[in-house]
Structure 1
Amino acid sequence: MVQAAVCATCNNRLSKIYFHGFFLCIFTGDMINDDVDFEDDGNPDDRQTSRKILIGFLLAACMVAGLLLFQPPGNSDSSLTSLDTIDSLLTRELSFFNIPPNRIRISSQMAGGVFERKIYNVDVPSDFRKTYFHMELAKRLMPLGIELFGVIEFPDRLLRLVMIYENTVIRSIRINPTTAYELPTYPAELMLTIASRPGSDLVAAIRREIPGVPIALRVSSAEDAVAWSSPFSSHPLFFWMDAQTDGLPSLARSLRSVAPRPRYLLMDASQMNIRDLIMQSAGRNAGWIDGRNALIISDKAGRMKLEQDLGRFFRDARAGSTGFALIEVSERGIGWLTENLHDHKKGGMVITTPVVRLP
């Protein structure tokens, strides 16, 4: 069915080419007849002029045919070229939701003797968010021109998702809740870091997309800390002190006025060497995190590098690694980051705050 739709599009374009080519051939044929008439007149100049005109029209015909052949098709509702594309996309989306392959059964049936329609039977945990899965899968299918509808099957009240393309059902998915297994979750210790006063767009994106995520503010004064921390009152906040070593204790003391229980991110050996002095200056309610071995991830190198680093970190976290990631975020990459975190949350990732140590 999909192949037939694609062929129909190609045939439509080729038909236009054939039509225009046919028209040009007739027109050129008339010119050839005119050329014969010129030759019958026996005038050499007329014959030369005729040949030049013919060559010009032939070149024009070639150029028009080439443009018709290679021009991109107009805006279409779909970029789907193969049903295998859907299967790959669906498999990927199920893996994002941490559904193991042994919980997926696939059967097939012929649809009108034209193509093979696959039916997916997917066992999911009883607390699986079916509506959320429906919404996410529909979002992935939309660019392909595929509509996704949900149907409740009675009497078991099971959800069946139906993919429709060109008014034809091409795939269906039966969601079968079961108590046989639970969706495994895994903690991922991470925090965002902001090196300058955040703009309103960045603040809004963080608060909307990843509420409650720990944030480390890289500050050099209490004034910076007050100005930068106020938009993130609902987030666990840490101070990454940006000062000379001998100025750290006084900076830590001044930050006590910003937060009643200040938390500090100590990032290098020089800070760790005077940790006790910093904590003494910060007060008895202060805490600290050892960030010397943190994996620093940044969006400065572009989206691909960011996703590669995050993917490596989350694979290690799922395997039980105890390290944490410090993610440098900006308005340029906040969308990339939230989309990636969103995908990993589907598979059971839970953002946690790195371990805070007390004096």
Structure 2
Amino acid sequence: MTQAVNMVEIWRGPVLESQHMGHAVVCDTSGAVVDMWGDPELVMLPRSSSKMLQALPLIESGAADAFGLGTEQLALACASHNGAAIHTDLVKTWLGELGLDDDAFRCGPQEPSDLPARNGLITAGEAPCRCHNNCSGKHSGFLTLGQHLGAGPEYVEIDHPVQCAVLEAYEDMTGITSPGFGVDGCSAPNHATTLTGLARAMARMAKGDDGTARGKAAARLVDAMRAHPDLVAGEGRACTELMRAMDHKVAIKTGAEAVFVAILPERELGIAVKIVDGGTRAAECAIAGLLVKYGVLDAAHPAAVKRLTGPITNWDGKETGKMQLSSRFLS
């Protein structure tokens, strides 16, 4: 089956109100597809779900060790954070250690999604800056790599040494020559691949330290994400809550337009999901269902229930509906 399958349903009372169609692939560490729904050869942009792959050269090059980066910085390099103080304070310190300031970033300023941080800016009459951008950790990694390589400041240009290193790692991990790229929300190139390629890359991340420099780098990034789920996203976010619910044994990462990936080291599996309509709630529901299916997430855990069923409530707090996985998905 190559057509998108109905993955997630939204019910209001007895009426099926909405359906979210999507695709999903599960690969093992050999790169083989072990399960799939929809079109495994779907060409797509992974968006922020590929940040772990983009961070590989930071470690492989020796830059991470040369600049003394710890697990917190490595987790931030993979993050799409809320712009909370725990995120921006680390980013500012990291920038300072590079001898740089906010102007060095090529990502734009972004209003933080963390409410205390947002309210603090409003109260102080201050505008958000680039360190509040959810990708500022990734960009800090790019700047670190750029300094280590002695490269120029325009690190998001497609032919910059930083982006050349990123593309080489990306294509190696996915096993596919990228057919092209788009410019991400943070101005960095985001390279297309197939859904199988993305799942294969996540499986290689799950394999971890295989004695190669790339395997060791992958293991360090996955370990950093699992150790610091609060830095990978933030309070109330699916990545953070679900990683905590799985006792830090699994690394997961969302991407814009309803992409979600999972790295399961103990199961030696990689998972990639894409919801056709870009609906985040459906991507979160689908990845939660897959994590339950593969035995790493307890379906009864509150963080899982929140994504698998809702419930859906109205402005008065009354339960008006529910979300559920389609019977055609995971069967």
Fold shared by both chains (TM-score > 0.5): no
Greater strand share, 1 or 2?
1
TM-score for the superposition, normalised by structure 1: 0.18
| TM-score, structure 2 as length reference | 0.20
- Relative to its length, the structure with more helix (as a share) is 1
* Bigger CA radius of gyration: 1
